[in-house]
Amino acid sequence: MRNQLSRKYSKLDIKQIREYLNKNNISIDQEKEFKLILLADLIEDYKDCVFDIKQNGLIINTNNHKTVCLNPSIKLKLQCIKLIIKLLEELGIKSEKIINDDTDDFINSLLSE
């Protein structure tokens, strides 16, 4: 299962995020360190949702193929995006910065498969 395999990459994401924050003169105190770990975990959750949607599609069958519904990973993915942006802002990266500079490319590189 991808979820179990992907968790090993959280440390890499933490390192990448820490390096990016340092590059932008944002210091990491103990409170931000915890948020950094949460952010890396959310990024992995986001990747898992993307993977599930790619594997199973937007519409899935339930109840022994008697019922169809939206893949629940869609809603989870949207929640992850909101929380990721919130944590980035709490870490000192404002949403305007995410849109207007290389932060957008950096975040996309973390979120990509």
Give the bridge partners for 67, in sequence order.
62
Q: Please give the model's pTM, rounded to 2 decimal places.
A: 0.73
Nearest C-alpha neighbor of 107 from the set 33, 13, 27? 13
Which range has highest mean pLDDT (37-46, 57-66, 67-76, 84-93)? 67-76
Task: Measure the CA–CA gap between 109 and 12, rounded to whole angstroms.
Answer: 12
How many C-alpha atoms does 22 have within 13 Å on its Cβ side?
Answer: 7
Q: What is the pLDDT of residues 40-55, one digit of tens each?
A: 888 888 888 989 999 9
Q: What is the pLDDT of residues 77-111, one digit of tens each?
A: 999 988 988 988 888 877 665 655 555 566 666 66
- What contacts 24+ positions apart, CB below 8 Å, involve 96-105? 103/20
Element holding 92 (H helix, E strand): none
